[in-house]
Amino acid sequence: MNQAKPKLWTKDFVIISAANFFVALTFFLLMTNIAVYAIEEFNASQSKAGLASSIFIIGALLFRLFAGKYMESIGRKKMLFGGLFLFLCATLLYFAVANLNLLLLVRFIHGAAFGISATAMSTIVMDIIPRKRLGEGTSYFSMSATLAMAIGPFLGVIISRYTDFIVAFEVCTFFSIINIIISLFAYIPEARINKEEYKAMQGFKWQNFFEVKAIPISIMITVMGFAYSGILTFLTSYTREIDLIEGASFFFIVYAVFILISRPFTGRLFDVQGANPVIYPALIIFASGLALLSQTHHGFTLLAAGALVGLGYGTLVSCSQAIAIKESPRHRIGLATSTFFVCLDGGVGIGPFLQGYVTPVVGLRGLYMTLAFIVLACVLLYYLVHGKKESCRKRYSIINSPGGLPPQ
């Protein structure tokens, strides 16, 4: 007799996913405007304006480590609402910014609040999702950030075109208040942790800031973030160079649409067939998208590259996160979550810096082709860090199943 599927779409899952959407929406909306705001309001140089954008990521990166380490000792509920209240306070501080240095400080605080609240929400939702539907649930939860990535920049452009920057801060304040209100209605499961496990997590050993079992797949996702950062950073310059600047505005919309279409299917495939049938094709599709991007001369091929990147990179992020959680002990989900996103954010953060040295030598077409080969090489990297172990588990489960191996 078939057992009924454990329920995924619970009230708490929907609420935390919605809260994650509004946090990410604020992030993407402000990322669209903040560099221009720094230049127009405070006469900032291009480099200082860029710092106003990137210092948010630095704050998020550092405080993800803090959130991961202290999540279970402070408590998930306190960590979540502490992060959300700090997020609201940071949003309100934009109204009081009087100079560039204050703006940089507020951006850092806002990034810290983002790192704390986003890590808390990911940890909580990973405990809410039934273990048998982890891939599917992670895919659906990740869609909240994908929607925000498509809507946030669009709202940012509309606001900057028709109103002023104060309206952007008012809208983000509204989103931050909504976050706190809806989160009050969610049940926040705390970690089931015994005294020995709690004691092992104390102190300042590196194992108390990173989950060891999540590191292998996080190494691969660092490389994926590195490759994707080439699109985030240089796509506008590239499309201007090849005279497809209008198509660039639709690239991320197509990217987001194909993520939304594919994630329910890839998540279910992950749960039923395991990671390998999902990750290997996703790596090849992502590499194909980068290769197509490097050779594009028409708007259609640019958008086709966006579709392939969405299918490949989007699948890799959600399914790799599910692997990181699945491999880790339940009481260290917070650490596993922060380990994964610290590595992902680190790859995205260091990518533009290193790629800036390569681009003058090989050009932007050469950069995207180079990144395609790097992603393709990760087929071997994935096999070494997780794929081989996954295959062995599958073989072992077949051998030990009631039917055993089929006759030769």
- Cβ of 240: how many Cβ atoms within 10 Å? 12
Domain ranges of the chain: 9-191, 205-408
For residue 81, pLDDT over 90 is answered with yes
Instruction: Choose the weakest-confidence range: 3-17, 18-32, 151-165.
Output: 151-165
pLDDT (tens digit, 9 = 90+) per residue, 311-350? 999 899 889 988 998 888 877 777 888 888 888 888 877 8
Give the CATH number of domain 205-408: 1.20.1250.20
For residue 154, pLDDT over 80 is answered with no
Name the pLDDT band for 403 (thresholds 50, 70, 90).
low
Backbone phi, psi, residue 31, to 5°: -60, -30
CA distance readout (Å), 136 to 111, 205, 325: 28, 34, 13
User: CA 99, 160, 87: angle at the middle one, nearest 5?
Assistant: 60
d(CA 59, CA 71): 17
CATH architecture of 9-191: Up-down Bundle (1.20)
Is it true that 9-191 and 205-408 share their CATH fold?
yes
Q: What DSSP element (H or E) covers 78? A: helix 76-93
**pLDDT value of residue 401:** 55
Token pair for residue 354? 């290193």
3 state DSSP class of 204: coil
pLDDT (tens digit, 9 = 90+) per residue, 182-233? 999 999 987 666 566 555 555 556 556 678 899 999 999 999 989 988 887 7
**pLDDT value of residue 407:** 43
d(CA 56, CA 327): 30
pLDDT (tens digit, 9 = 90+) per residue, 116-152? 999 899 889 988 888 888 878 888 888 888 788 778 8
Give, to the nearest 10 degrees, the angle between helix 11-42 and helix 100-128. Answer: 170
**Among residues of the chain, what percentage have pLDDT more than 70?**
90
- What residues contact 384, with CB distance under 8 A and at least 6 apart? none
Chain centroid to Cα 3, Å, comes to 33
Instruction: Choose the weakest-confidence range: 158-162, 237-241, 317-321.
Output: 158-162
For residue 250, pLDDT over 50 is answered with yes
d(CA 225, CA 314): 11
- What residues contact 370, with CB distance under 8 A and at least 6 apart? 358, 362
